């Protein structure tokens, strides 16, 4: 058998096995993902339906013709709402750290109680407000499983074909089709069995038509049907979720309109123009006398799953033509895998190619930052990262705050111990700005002169920019408007703030900062530009100030 015939036979074998294996790969695809606040198991079906199985409560059935091709359907087995920390024993170090952070009051809402029912309603409302994020998660998860199964099928079937070739001798390309077809009579009989058998199965398994529930009219679930006990509570649940989602969208639509109206009259930056251009005294004639020497960053922190404010962040990034986005942590509320959805909404709202850097907050988890890294964000984990020409250094908050149980440690170090470790690393690192969730953890690095500037969040109140130790610190208030003991997603219950920071590209030092405040009455206030103070010279080191 010639070399060309061997290649032709191999290609024919691969194409044949790929065609045979694809339907199996599609119809057997499954993935473990999330649905709103729930863990969920997804499976591809052939019944042209979206089936949400809530166990003893019943099912929600939706027509899938507009969402899935070729009569495919999707079965979603909705599981529990994950709660991190259940059953975990608290180590002595964690207990010590929890006691040292107790009494934070409004600076940190993590220790307070949360209305569980309200939290569930908010999670479902977030799902309905930004369904594309959930759809993208499902498509990505199932596509990955389909490709894996397809590759497995091709490998197994091709391997069987190669083994047969070794056992029975070389097989020409035409032999494969003759083997598959056999004699004409056998081929015709096989075709008839497949066609009529397939039609019979399709008729016998054809689902009964759906009976749409009138409660869904005018909602994203229009055309759906409920079964079992779920039908008894669906009217109230749908109404609550629909009202929450509508109020949320209306509130932030108003905020964005007010932001647009205020932007034209916002305070400018003196000699620093709106586009970050600085005058060049000795510029050659005809060259305009300006050159771009400033980078603009939008800084947010403590979003706490408020995806409405993610829309505001996106507009500010667009209006400022920002070169990068900086996040001081606490994007989620407890850092469960289901809350990756909150991160995905923020990621989707921000421009795709915008450089982004983040540190883990105490309400996030390693799951959160791992997910952020997989989406292309620069994650600071006792490390440095350069975005838009500026090098940031920082690390994750060692604590993990879970509603109802307070802060626990994800590492063997308390917050104070980690602050000292970070100081040693900062003294050995080359960077421009420290980014850390809790300003107290940045304190030793600033006092030692190992960090000139530090950006933080966590306190839910703004501090600075102000000299601290030998450096300068700035603490952002909550960008999500996270009020203690209150549900964060939805219309604001307290002021939400985000910051626009300009950095000199030559010295890599912050120049000035502008605060944008969104209030519960939908008003937007754009503050004056405030100059960053200079770090304190080493010879003029002030005495240590008490920790805050």
Cβ–Cβ under 8 Å, residues 442 and 128 = no
For residue 460, give the nearest of 435, 415, 493, 434 by alpha carbon: 493
Question: Strand ranges (DSSP E) for 142-276?
Answer: 225-226
| Average of per-residue pLDDT across 124-129 | 54
Give the β-pairing of 471-475 and 453-457. parallel
CA separation for the pair 250, 290 (Å, rounded): 42
Percentage of the chain surpassing pLDDT 70? 62
pLDDT score for 227: 63
pLDDT score for 439: 93
The answer, yes or no, to whether residue 305 has pLDDT greater than 70, is yes
Mean pLDDT, the chain, rounded, equals 75
Beta bridge partners of 501: 297, 513
Cβ–Cβ under 8 Å, residues 53 and 75 = yes
State pLDDT tens for residues 187-218.
Answer: 445 444 444 444 444 444 556 666 665 555 55
| Average of per-residue pLDDT across 345-351 | 91
State pLDDT tens for residues 533-542.
Answer: 988 765 445 5
pLDDT band at 161 (very low <50, low <70, confident <90, very high): low
Helix 3-27 vs helix 131-168: crossing angle, to nearest 10:
140
Cβ–Cβ under 8 Å, residues 459 and 441 = no
Q: What is the CA radius of gyration of the chain?
A: 29
The DSSP output letter for 29 is: -
| Average of per-residue pLDDT across 141-169 | 74
CA separation for the pair 314, 215 (Å, rounded): 34
Residue 511: C-alpha distances to residues 297, 479, 504, 508 (Å): 11, 22, 6, 9
On the question of a cis peptide bond just before residue 140, with omega within 30 degrees of 0, the verdict is no
Cβ–Cβ under 8 Å, residues 254 and 261 = no
pLDDT band at 408 (very low <50, low <70, confident <90, very high): confident
State pLDDT tens for residues 44-83.
Answer: 887 777 777 777 666 677 776 666 776 777 788 877 766 5
Cβ–Cβ under 8 Å, residues 246 and 256 = no
pLDDT score for 444: 94
Q: Which of 171-180, 311-320, 471-480 has the lowest mean pLDDT?
A: 171-180
Q: Is the pTM of this model over 0.75?
A: no
Going 479 to 481 to 487 to 491, the CA torsion angle's sign is negative
What tokens appear for 219 in the block?
A: 């909602």
| Length of the chain, in residues | 548
Sorted by where each starts, the structural domains of the chain and their CATH numbers stand as 3-80+127-171 (no CATH), 295-534 (3.60.21.10)
Q: Which of 2-11, 342-351, 538-547 has the lowest mean pLDDT?
A: 538-547
| Average of per-residue pLDDT across 6-26 | 70
Residue 306: C-alpha distances to residues 26, 122, 123, 249 (Å): 36, 10, 10, 12
Q: Of 139-148, 333-342, 450-459, which has the strongest mean pLDDT?
A: 450-459
């Amino acid at each position: 058998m010639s070399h060309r015939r061997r290649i032709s036979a191999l290609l024919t074998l691969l194409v044949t096995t790929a065609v045979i294996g694809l339907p199996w790969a599609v119809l057997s695809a499954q993935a473990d993902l999330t649905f709103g606040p729930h863990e969920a198991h997804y499976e591809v079906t052939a019944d042209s339906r979206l089936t949400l199985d809530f166990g003893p409560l019943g099912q929600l059935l939706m027509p899938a013709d507009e969402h899935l091709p070729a009569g495919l359907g999707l079965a979603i087995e909705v599981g529990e709402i994950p709660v991190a920390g259940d059953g975990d024993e608290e180590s002595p170090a964690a207990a010590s750290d929890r006691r040292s952070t107790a009494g934070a009051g409004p600076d940190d809402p993590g220790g307070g109680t949360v209305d569980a029912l309200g939290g569930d309603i908010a999670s479902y409302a977030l799902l309905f407000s930004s369904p594309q994020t959930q759809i993208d998660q499902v498509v990505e998860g199932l596509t990955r499983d389909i490709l894996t199964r397809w590759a497995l099928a091709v490998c197994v079937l091709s391997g069987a074909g190669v083994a047969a070739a070794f056992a029975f001798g070389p097989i020409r390309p035409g032999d494969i089709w003759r083997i598959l077809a056999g004699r004409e009579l056998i081929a015709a009989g096989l075709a008839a069995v497949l066609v009529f058998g397939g039609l019979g199965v399709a008729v016998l398994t054809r689902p009964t038509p759906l009976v749409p529930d009138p409660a869904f009219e005018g909602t994203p679930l229009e055309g759906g049907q409920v079964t079992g006990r779920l039908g008894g509570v669906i009217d109230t649940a749908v109404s609550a979720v629909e009202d929450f989602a509508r109020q949320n969208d209306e509130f932030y639509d108003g905020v964005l309109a007010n932001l647009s109206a205020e932007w034209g009259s916002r305070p400018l930056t003196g000699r620093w123009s709106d586009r970050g251009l600085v005058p060049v005294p000795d510029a050659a004639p005809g060259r305009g006398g300006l050159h771009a020497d400033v980078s603009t960053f939008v800084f947010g922190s403590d979003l706490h799953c408020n995806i409405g404010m993610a829309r505001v962040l996106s507009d500010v990034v667009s209006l400022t033509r920002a070169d990068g986005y900086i996040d001081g942590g606490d994007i989620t509320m407890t850092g469960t895998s289901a809350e990756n959805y909150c991160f995905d909404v923020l990621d989707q709202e921000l421009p795709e190619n915008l450089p982004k850097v983040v540190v883990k907050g105490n309400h996030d988890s390693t799951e959160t930052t791992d997910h952020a890294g997989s989406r292309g964000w620069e994650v600071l984990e006792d490390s440095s990262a350069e975005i838009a020409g500026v090098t940031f250094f920082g690390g994750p908050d060692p604590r993990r705050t879970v509603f109802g149980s307070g802060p626990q440690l994800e590492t063997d170090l308390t917050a104070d111990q980690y602050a000292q470790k970070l100081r040693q690393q900062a003294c050995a690192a080359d960077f421009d700005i420290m980014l850390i969730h809790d300003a107290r953890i940045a304190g030793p690095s600033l006092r030692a002169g190992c960090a000139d500037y530090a950006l933080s969040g966590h306190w839910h109140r703004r501090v600075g920019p102000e000299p601290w130790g030998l450096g300068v610190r700035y603490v952002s208030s909550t960008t999500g408007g996270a009020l203690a003991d209150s549900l964060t997603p939805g219309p604001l219950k307290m002021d939400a703030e985000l910051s626009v920071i300009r950095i000199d590209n030559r010295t890599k030092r912050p120049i000035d900062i502008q605060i944008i405040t969104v209030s519960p009455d939908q008003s937007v206030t754009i503050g004056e530009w405030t100059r960053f103070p200079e770090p304190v010279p080493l010879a003029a080191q002030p005495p240590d100030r008490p920790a805050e």
